């Protein structure tokens, strides 16, 4: 299908009679990049395999042919080098998008991301903005073992000066990436490799070139009255699946898609907890000092604490380096059954 553009369009817009389209997360990201490159000539994309190969995960498919060598730049395998170039370009007035083939490789360049990008606006007393987006797949994929499976949401969200975004579906991916590219602060944009090929309904509004989603706003994906589930990225889908199973047993879960990790939308979480009186956080990262740990602390320090009828429960990745064997890997990342178990434990069912 992908070699015949007419057919592909027909396929992706099969639902357009209803004002909706099925669009994969990959294509949503590609649309966002294309529209922003077209809208602002200061925007450019650089990273490994992004140009001639169409991207390691085909997210930048077709962009090199359309925009050429100057705007879509293949780099050597040297994260520290090309991230430094991108940060310098941002300081000089351009708006770079720096792609990491996976966020695990951003560790090679973490000094550039944090010391050069995140702190400069503050250290220059607001004189030197660094408008840059660091993007690529984050968190566990499948069968790539310990060095390629960690979630960086908590790592980067720990650092003032960065904004950290973690989309789940196609609408999130498109709207948030466009906002990130237009943002004057450095943004860490955490995608998920296992989500790239997943199609989602995309509203007519989301397909317009003006569509953006504000950074720092969570979304209630499902209304419920018994327990609040808060998650980000791929595990939002797991929470919705768990909620569907629990609904058959009479337990109504409210599911919140964080969308942004920093700044965190604590108000939406608090409003939900005041309604449901129970909270379960779900994430793929490690438990210590994780996203769920931060949510627990913020809820405890705020007005929603008095509304809790039981302690907050965290569902996280297991506190070990990711094993390679599939059965061990499956037991190291949260599954739908783990979410169901934790909800029942929290509600004492």
| Residues annotated catalytic, as ranges | 79, 148
User: What secondary structure does DSSP assign to 19-82, as a single string?
Assistant: TEEEEEHHHHHHHHHHHHHHH-TTEEEEETTSSTT--TTSTTTTHHHHH-TTTEEE--S-HHHH
User: 90 by DSSP, 3-state: which?
Assistant: helix
Integer Cα distance of 13 and 6 in angstroms: 11
Q: Where do the DSSP E strands lie in 91-242?
A: 95-99, 133-137, 163-165, 187-191, 199-203, 219-222, 227-231
Tokens of 296: 């627990």
Contact (Cβ atoms closer than 8 angstroms) between residue 177 and residue 32: yes
CA angle 9, 11, 13 (to 5 degrees): 65
Tokens of 329: 């890997």
- Closest by Cα among 169, 108, 105, 114 to 137: 105
Integer Cα distance of 146 and 328 in angstroms: 12
Integer Cα distance of 23 and 28 in angstroms: 6
- CA-atom Rg of the chain in angstroms: 20
Contact (Cβ atoms closer than 8 angstroms) between residue 153 and residue 166: yes
Give the pairing of strands 133-137 and 187-191. Answer: parallel
- Closest by Cα among 208, 233, 203 to 218: 233
């Amino acid at each position: 299908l992908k070699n015949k553009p007419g057919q592909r369009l027909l396929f992706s817009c099969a639902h357009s009679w209803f004002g909706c389209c099925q669009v994969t997360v990959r294509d949503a990201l590609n649309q966002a990049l294309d529209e922003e490159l077209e809208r602002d000539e200061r925007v450019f994309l650089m990273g490994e395999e992004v140009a001639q190969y169409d991207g390691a995960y085909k997210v930048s498919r077709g962009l090199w042919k359309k925009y050429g060598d100057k705007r879509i730049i293949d780099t050597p395998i040297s994260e520290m080098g090309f991230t430094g170039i991108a940060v310098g370009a941002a300081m000089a007035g351009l708006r770079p998008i720096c792609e990491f083939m996976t966020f695990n490789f951003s560790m090679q360049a973490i000094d550039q991301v944090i010391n050069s990008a995140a702190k400069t606006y503050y250290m220059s007393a607001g004189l030197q903005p660094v408008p840059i987006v660091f993007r690529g797949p984050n968190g566990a994929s499948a069968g790539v073992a310990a060095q390629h499976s960690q979630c960086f949401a908590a790592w980067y969200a720990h650092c003032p000066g960065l904004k950290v975004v973690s989309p789940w579906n196609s609408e999130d991916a498109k709207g948030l990436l466009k906002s990130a590219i237009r943002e004057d602060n450095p943004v860490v944009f955490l995608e998920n490799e296992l989500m790239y090929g997943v199609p989602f309904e995309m509203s007519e509004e989301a397909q317009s070139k003006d569509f953006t989603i504000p950074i720092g706003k969570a979304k209630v994906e499902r209304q419920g009255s018994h327990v609040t589930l808060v998650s980000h990225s791929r595990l939002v889908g797991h929470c919705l699946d768990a909620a569907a199973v629990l609904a058959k047993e009479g337990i109504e879960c409210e599911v919140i898609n964080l969308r942004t990790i920093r700044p965190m939308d604590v108000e939406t979480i608090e409003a939900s907890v005041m309604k449901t009186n129970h909270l379960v956080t779900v994430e793929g990262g490690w438990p210590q000092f994780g996203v769920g740990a931060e949510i627990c602390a913020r809820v405890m320090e705020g007005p929603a604490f008095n509304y809790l009828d039981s302690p907050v429960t965290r569902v996280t990745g297991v506190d070990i380096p990711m094993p390679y064997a599939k059965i061990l890997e499956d037991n190291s990342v949260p599954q739908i059954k783990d979410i169901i178990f934790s909800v029942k434990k929290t509600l004492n069912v």
